[in-house]
Every structure is written in C-alpha cells, then in structure tokens.
Homo-oligomer: A and B are copies of this chain.
Amino acid sequence: MVVGGGFAGLAVVRGLAGAPVRVTLIDRQNHHVFQPLLYQVATAALSPAQIAAPIRRIFKSQPNVEVVMGRVDGLDADARQVSVVRADGSVEAIGYDALVLAAGATHSYFGNDGWAAHAPGLKTIDDAVEIRRRFLVAFEAAEREEDAKRRRALLTFVVIGAGPTGVELAGAISEISRTVIRRDFRRIDTGSARVVLIEAMDRVLPAMRPMSSRKAADQLRELGVELRVATRVVGIDANGVAIQGGSRIDAGCVLWAAGVRASAIGAMLGAETDQAGRVVVAPDLSVPGRTEIFVAGDLASVEMVRGAKDAAKKVPGVAPAAMQMGRFVAAQIRARVERGWDTPATSGVEERSRFVYRDKGTLATIGRARAVGEVLGMNLSGFIAWAFWALVHVMFLVGFRNRWVVMWDWSWDYVFFERGARLITGQKGHEVTKKGE
C-alpha cells in the first residue's frame, strides 16, 4: 500500500509495475499535481488541467494497481491497517503487508493557524485556484477604488518566504502586473503594483549558494520586486502584515511560502520525527523497528551520506529526491518479495539497501527568461538557466498530452505574451448569493 500520489508515491507504484504484488495507492485527490508548476496556475499562466493528471489514468495500463481516493485519518501499525475517509465521506479500513508513506508536506504557519485565512499557501490545485482568485480580485478592487491610499494597498502584494516557491510567485506576480494585464485596466496602472518578498533569513533562496542568491536578487529587482531579507513577520490580518520592529505593510493579497510541515500521518506512526514532523528513517528508508513500513519523499527525514562534510545535511524536499526515494523503495520491496518477504537480506543486498541521494542540481525560475541554477557544479543564471529549467520541467511533466499542451501554451505565451487562464472561479460567497436570487 502506498499513501500519497505525489512524485514519491508515483515512483514507488511505477517501480512495482509487473511485480507479483497488489498495489493500493491512496490519495486525497484524484489527480497527481506537477508541483513545480503550481505557481503558474496561481498566477494565471496555466490552467489546472495542464499541470495535473488523474492518477487512475496514469496507472490504467498497470493492472496490479488499485487507486483509492480518500484521506488517511488513522494508522494501526500493529494491526497493519489504515483507516481511510473516502470521497463520499464514508470510512473504510484497508489492510496492508507493506506500507509506503509518501504523504508529503503541507504549509506550516509556525503555530499561527489564524494566518491561513489571510495568507494562503500553495500545495494543491485548490490552493492555486484560491491564490489566483485573490491575485486577480485585488486588481479588480483597485480598479474601482477611489481612495488613493486604499488603492495603493490593494495593489500591494506580499509574498512571505523567499524559497523557490516564494521567488517564483513574487517574480511572476511582478512580471504579469507589468506586462500581460496592463492593457486590461482603464483606471489603474497595474505596472505600479508593489510586490514585496519577505524572507527571515539574510538572503533569497537561502538553500542555494550565496552567488545564486545574489543573481536571483538582481533578477527579482529587475522585475520590480522589493526584497526584504532578514525580516520577520509577526502578524497577518485581512489588511496586510506586521513586521517585527513595529512596521506594517498594507496589502490586498498576502501569500505564504515560508514554511512546510510534514503530513500528520508521520505522527500517527508513533515513530521518531524531526522538528518539521518528518519521520526519521533508517538508511534503507524503512521505519526503525517496522521493516514493513517505508517513508519516501518530503515526509522522510534522511541524512545525506555522500561524505563526511555533508553528513549532517538532510536530503532536500525537492521533486528529484522524492522520485529517487520512490524508485529506491520500489526496488527494496521488489528485492524482498523476490527472496521471500521475511527472509533476512544477504550481505550483498544489504550493501545496496542504503539510499544515496544524487543531487543533479537545483533550478529556480524567476520570470520570463530569468532563473538561477546550480547544475553539475556550474552556476547558471538568466536566459540559459531559464531555458534549462523550462526544458527539464516540460520533459518531466507527467503524461504525454500535458507535455504537448504545456509546450504549446508556453510557446504561445512566449511569442504573444498572453495569459489564457485568467479566470476568477470558486467564489463560493458570490455563488450562494447568486443561487439565492
């Protein structure tokens, strides 16, 4: 059984194709999301169907897979079963012989859960659609606002957290405001929108090399993004954010890209977790004391073991790492099934059963033809980094069809600088009023 249909979960299931096992894949959504492009949905460049693929379709030709749409709300490791709340609300207990937890992470507001309503994070398609709604509604409201101060606030966008997602969001918002939608409005100049990127650490993209941070900061400034590093947010409300030290930024739209916390399923397991809620796993990604349970992807806390100087570092929560872990776990399960599930490994197998993360580099995109990257030891930036980023992301997009549609869309956008997905949907409040008419 595999819990989670993200990059790690899919890699596990794919790795078990043709193996003499029955695989049950459980996910809350009926679709896999290509997370690295989710910010493009949030900023109205792509539409949801372009970066998501129904999980059932992905595995329709892999007969040993059953897909269950549901949310795991309980785990009994002794009884070897999980409790699943299905799409229609009913609850089902499903047993397993081996379990792979790949439920990923969600955003964390560091204990300030009240902030969630005012500063949505970006993990699911629904999150992206909600951010898109807020982003576009801010311009709509500003267009009709008579009060100059209030209009200024409505045209202020604050992104909290300057990791890759925050950088992508801030860059895209600033770029779109200054170009694509500028001619759509009559009273406001969307090009005057203020985009503030706040980071608690002393530089943007703190997980990358200082040189990449500098290049990224330069490119963000070129796009008009205002950077506030070494700045801590102490409050978020409907009208903006409060900064440590007493200052305040009034904003029409605040987005959260600052913290992630591992899925609660890690805690259900009763195993050791790190401060981000990730499960501390053995070198073969199994849970210590539970050799039938593996953890892969963002939910796993794995030490890098490539050399003494990296020993303390953890494998990062990025898509390539998740896919590598997934493939590794699938290979582990295959090997154990082949030799008999409970037969101890021979020394030869033992040697292979240590997950090693192969870091192929990091890329962060900033805007149209702007990105930074660290690939094969090289520092890339600007158009080259962006082209490389676009190529890698399109290549990896799940599903042949999506790949072509995205390429088509991107080519179109690149040539005509047009945005086709600029819809404001999901206005539940509006909706109710309308139906009541």
Among B30, B141, B431, contact of A424 (Cβ-Cβ < 8 Å): B30
- Say yes or no: B183 contacts A60, CB within 8 Å: yes
A129 to B65, CA, bound (A): 27
Q: Does A353 contact B (CB under 8 A)?
A: no
A184 to B70, CA, bound (A): 16
- Say yes or no: B412 contacts A48, CB within 8 Å: no
Which A residues from 178 to 231 make CB contacts under 8 A with B?
A: 181, 183-187
Q: Does A374 contact B (CB under 8 A)?
A: no
Stretch at the interface among A281-289, A317-325, A415-423: A415-423
Among B90, B125, B144, contact of A86 (Cβ-Cβ < 8 Å): B144
Q: At the interface, is chain A mostly helix, strand, loop or mixed? A: mixed
Q: Does A81 contact B (CB under 8 A)?
A: no
- Say yes or no: A430 contacts B57, CB within 8 Å: no
A430 to B27, CA, bound (A): 12
In the assembled complex, how far is the CB of residue A59 from the closest CB belonging to chain B, in whole angstroms? Answer: 8
A418 to B420, CA, bound (A): 22
Chain A residues within 8 Å of chain B by Cβ, number: 73
- Say yes or no: A69 contacts B140, CB within 8 Å: yes
- Say yes or no: B129 contacts A425, CB within 8 Å: yes
Task: State whether A186 and B66 are in contact (beta carbons under 8 Å apart), knowing that A126-B431, A144-B86 are contacts in the complex.
Answer: yes
In the assembled complex, how far is the CB of residue A86 from the closest CB belonging to chain B, in whole angstroms? Answer: 6
Residues of B within 8 A of A98 (CB): none
- Say yes or no: B435 contacts A420, CB within 8 Å: no
Q: Does A137 contact B (CB under 8 A)?
A: yes
A210 to B106, CA, bound (A): 57
Task: State whether A141 and B423 are in contact (beta carbons under 8 Å apart), knowing that A57-B184, A430-B28 are contacts in the complex.
Answer: no
Which A residues from 379 to 437 make CB contacts under 8 A with B?
A: 401-402, 405, 408, 412, 418-431, 433-435, 437
Q: Does A77 contact B (CB under 8 A)?
A: no
- Say yes or no: B126 contacts A426, CB within 8 Å: yes
Residues of B within 8 A of A31 (CB): 422-424
Among B57, B185, B412, contact of A56 (Cβ-Cβ < 8 Å): B185
Across the A-B interface, the 8 shortest Cβ-Cβ residue pairs: A47-B49, A56-B184, A88-B141, A264-B437, A49-B421, A54-B422, A30-B424, A69-B140
Q: Known pairs A69-B140, A88-B141; list 16 more (Cβ under 8 Å).
A: A28-B434, A49-B49, A54-B184, A56-B181, A61-B183, A71-B430, A85-B433, A86-B141, A86-B144, A88-B154, A124-B431, A126-B426, A126-B427, A126-B431, A401-B412, A401-B418
List 8 interface pairs A-B (beta carbons < 8 Å), by A numbering. A67-B186, A85-B433, A87-B424, A88-B140, A90-B141, A125-B423, A129-B425, A405-B408
